[in-house]
């Protein structure tokens, strides 16, 4: 009986899995702070194209696999996990929300209380991001007069604009219970009258 030779991987595919010294350096730098753009610059890529280079590198299956393996190794060595981080964030939030009495110079309570709202907000924001509560993209289905969907990337918007986009999306679902266009004058009037300060 004739033995079949196992299929050999073409040389072109073999080269895809090999890393250049700069790509290896990029992975090392990326593991420092998980910032692709900064890692690309530190690895020697040009600053004006570092963001694109980082995206392209992190999209490569072999680099993605190595980064995930390094993350798993780091997690194993440090005994850290997503559960550990979320638990600590919950503890931080609870501590920050614990009200403390405001004391006068002699150390007596003056009847006012304070808490660390910034710390609480930041820890809650990080928990929300982990749980996927705050989307960077907002999609509204069948919201235009021609029943098309609209996807809006809100990641680059300031807080007020993000709030307006979310508010507009909510209105699109309820105004006359029919799809409306972004140009709908009633919608714009409502948005103008309810604009919030950042």
Domain edge (last residue) among 44, 59, 78: 78
pLDDT band per the 50, 70, 90 thresholds, residue 48: very high
Name the average pLDDT for the chain: 74
Residue 145, pLDDT > 50, answer yes
At CA 81, angle to CA 74 and CA 69, rounded to 5? 35
Residue 44, pLDDT > 90, answer yes
Torsion sign, CA atoms 191, 195, 196, 198: positive
pLDDT for the residue numbered 21: 92
Residue 105 lies in a domain: yes
What is the domain range of residue 189?
137-193
pLDDT for the residue numbered 126: 84
CA distances from 125 to 63, 122, 128 (A): 29, 5, 5
Residue 1 lies in a domain: no
pTM: 0.43
pLDDT for the residue numbered 42: 94
Residue 163 lies in a domain: yes
User: Do residues 40 and 56 lie in contact, with contact meaning Cβ atoms separated by under 8 Å?
Assistant: no
pLDDT for the residue numbered 135: 60
Tell how strand 150-153 and strand 109-114 pair up.
Answer: unpaired
Same domain, 20 and 74: yes
Task: Classify residue 146 as left (phi > 0), alpha (psi -120 to 50) or beta.
Answer: alpha
> Which residues make beta-bridge pairs with 109?
103
Residue 176 lies in a domain: yes
The rounded distance, in Å, linking the Cα atoms of 96 and 90 is 10
- The torsion defined by the Cα of 133, 164, 136 and 81, in degrees rounded to 10, comes to -30
Residue 8 lies in a domain: no
pLDDT for the residue numbered 129: 78
CATH assignment at residue 67: 1.10.10.1400
Same domain, 72 and 96: no
Give the 3-state secondary structure of residue 127: helix
User: How many Cβ atoms sit within 10 Å of the Cβ of residue 36?
Assistant: 21
User: Do residues 191 and 168 lie in contact, with contact meaning Cβ atoms separated by under 8 Å?
Assistant: yes
């Amino acid at each position: 009986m004739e033995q079949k030779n196992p299929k050999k991987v073409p040389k072109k595919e073999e080269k895809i899995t090999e890393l250049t010294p700069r790509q290896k350096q990029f992975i090392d730098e990326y593991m420092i702070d998980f910032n692709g753009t900064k890692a690309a610059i530190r690895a020697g890529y040009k600053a004006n194209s570092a963001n694109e280079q980082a995206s392209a590198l992190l999209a490569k299956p072999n680099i993605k696999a190595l980064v995930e393996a390094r993350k798993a190794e780091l997690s194993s060595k440090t005994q850290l996990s997503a559960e550990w981080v979320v638990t600590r964030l919950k503890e931080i939030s609870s501590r920050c929300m614990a009200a403390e009495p405001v004391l006068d110079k002699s150390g007596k309570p003056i009847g006012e209380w304070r808490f660390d709202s910034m710390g609480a907000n930041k820890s809650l924001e990080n928990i929300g991001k982990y749980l996927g509560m705050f989307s960077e993209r907002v999609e509204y289905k069948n919201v235009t007069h021609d029943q098309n969907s609209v996807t809006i990337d809100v990641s680059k918007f300031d807080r007020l604009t993000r709030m307006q986009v979310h508010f507009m999306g909510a209105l699109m679902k309820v105004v006359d219970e029919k799809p409306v266009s972004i140009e709908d004058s009633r919608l714009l009037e409502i948005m103008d009258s309810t604009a919030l300060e950042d």
